[in-house]
Amino acid sequence: MENYFEKIQKYLHTGHAEEMDNRIERLRKYIDEILLNMKDTQERRCGYLHLYGVSQTCAFIALKRNQDVELATMVGMLHDLHSYKVMNTENHAEHGAVLARQILEELSLTTEKETDLICSAIRNHSSKAATHSAFDEVLKDADVLQHYLYNPLFTVMEQEKCRLQNLLTEFGIKRI
């Protein structure tokens, strides 16, 4: 029997099973299994919101900057997965990169070069004050944008203000 997520996915993709056979959906299925096994329902909710929220903002920013939208969607889903899986954020960028490599290799989803690209972005994503590669920057900006879009009425964290302002300017948005 189809589970809830398969039903949602089929609904979103007008029921065409072949639409589900791509790397993003194969990775989503794997990540859903990890999130569904989280005991703490509040943390599970946060995991879904943040990982898939960042995945979507990654896709949007990647489209704007001519970066690989497929890999950007995937890196967003993976970037904080380790933190939610073990419920510990200590050194989470490094641990997240290791877990991402393990998953991508286990699922044989990406080439070595693609895996390196994804893992580098995850490894560097906590260094918001520094600038890394164009693909790394997509993830950092997407992380900040998701925090903001969760509730634009919340006060923006000091360390995210500059990056958010630059991002809004890039998208032609005058103020926050």
Q: How far is the CB of 1 from Fe ion (least distance, A)?
A: 33
Window 68-97: residues binding Fe ion (CB under 5 A): 80
Among the listed residues 143, 144, 160, 163, the single contact to Fe ion using CB under 5 A: 143
Closer Cβ to Fe ion, 67 or 146, answer by number? 146
Q: Which of the 8 DSSP states describes residue 40?
A: -
Q: How far is the CB of 117 from Fe ion (least distance, A)?
A: 18
The mark string for 106-125 relative to Fe ion (x by CB under 5 A, - otherwise) is --------------------
Q: Is 141 in the site for Fe ion (CB under 5 A)?
A: no
The mark string for 12-51 relative to Fe ion (x by CB under 5 A, - otherwise) is ----------------------------------------
CA distance 176 to 160: 13
Torsion angle of the four alpha carbons 65, 71, 76, 77, in this order, in degrees rounded to the nearest 10: 160
CA distance 85 to 38: 7
Closer Cβ to Fe ion, 20 or 34, answer by number? 34
In angstroms, what CA-CA distances link 170 with 100, 111, 163? 29, 31, 11
Q: Indicate the SS3 state at residue 142.
A: helix
